[in-house]
Amino acid sequence: MSDADIAVVGGGIIGCLVAHEITRRDPRPRVALLDRDVVASGASRRSAGLHFPRGATERVRRLSTHSQAAYARLAAEDPTLPIHPLPLHMLAADPAHIERTYLTTARPTRAEQVPGGLVAVPPGTGVWTGQGCQYADVGALTEALATTLRPRLALREATRVTSVEPGPRDVTLHLSTGGTLTASRVVLAPGPWLADPAWEPLVRPLGARVKKIVALHVDRAPTEDDGVIVFEDEDAFLLPLRHRGHWLFSYTCQEWDVDPDTLDRGLSAADLTQAHACLSRYAPALAERTTSGRVFCDAYSPTCEPIVRTLDDGGRVVFAGAAGGSGYRLAPALAAETADLLHIAPEGTGHPDQPGPTGRRTAA
């Protein structure tokens, strides 16, 4: 018999929510969750944690809808979780972009200005308000999930997976501890560690790449009424991180094919110049108050849609990730898609061939 029915490799927000989804749907499978470090040590710890109800494609809109409901349910079940509803403001030149991108549940509504006088709206740019936005301290949320999971699974931290060998009956994971773990099915949720030699040959055909992500911390305290301001034409946003007492400015950095282990986590002069140039177009006073920030990276798929897919002929190894800077906001839906692929019956149906909550059938 295998050591575990399902082994989840990677204890970030996606891996933890995959384990959470599996054990919530069915308490019977023996689940192991492994991380080479402590949980929430990767991209999840550095995440800005913004969830907004939008998506550029039909699938992402579906994932966003599912995730929004799932986070609302988690927050209702445990109000101490660090998930905070937030007012939403969008700036865009093209009204059709707002209509195309935002879910109807976001109820985009034209507005005159962004409240608070923080940003100047450039000529030719419209302002909208919306609903259904929240942000989380993703590191703390991931740790809280791991705490609730601990009695329900085998949590093995500081245990690096050094090779993944799919076989006819199960998958053998070789571990940094010198031992092995066999599992009937394995979920790889490696965040930006796509090139880990343990699974690189399995993951390479996905064509996913790793991009640097930079966000600046703005040295100004948000008020309870402040909301997120999304600069649609820049793929950037200003987020009031109330729990940390400052704003965060996220913009799009185009530095590709970085390695999470060797990436310089310090802000570079080029990072600051690019971010200041972008922020100055809307809020020059804030740009002057940005001297610190966070630098890490994330995995992106060729289509910019997240990937949930089997990697081996036997269908025993499933990849979940490459969410392209949206791994927090889409994680619950990716977890549901993963559980569907693993044939874990959606809660309440009792039948593995019923359509799952994301529309997929659980039987392959």
Ligand X SMILES: Cc1cc2nc3c(=O)[nH]c(=O)nc-3n(C[C@H](O)[C@H](O)[C@H](O)COP(=O)(O)OP(=O)(O)OC[C@H]3O[C@@H](n4cnc5c(N)ncnc54)[C@H](O)[C@@H]3O)c2cc1C
Q: Which is nearer to ligand X, 204 or 351 (CB)?
A: 204
Nearest residue to ligand X on Cβ basis: 327
Q: Which is nearer to ligand X, 82 or 96 (CB)?
A: 82
- Estimate to the nearest angstrom the gap between the alpha carbon of 132 and the chain centroid: 17
Q: Which is nearer to ligand X, 198 or 283 (CB)?
A: 198
Q: Which is nearer to ligand X, 175 or 345 (CB)?
A: 175
Residue 355 Cβ vs ligand X, minimum distance, rounded to whole Å: 25
Q: What does DSSP say about strands 31-34 and 154-156: parallel, antiparallel, or unpaired?
A: parallel
Residue 293 Cβ vs ligand X, minimum distance, rounded to whole Å: 8
Residue 112 Cβ vs ligand X, minimum distance, rounded to whole Å: 27
Residue 328 Cβ vs ligand X, minimum distance, rounded to whole Å: 3
Q: Which is nearer to ligand X, 10 or 363 (CB)?
A: 10
Q: Which is nearer to ligand X, 36 or 316 (CB)?
A: 36
Residue 117 Cβ vs ligand X, minimum distance, rounded to whole Å: 24
Residue 314 Cβ vs ligand X, minimum distance, rounded to whole Å: 21
- Residues in contact with ligand X by CB under 6 A are 9-15, 34-37, 41-44, 46-50, 138, 160-161, 189-193, 196, 198, 213, 215, 294, 296, 298, 321, 323, 325-329
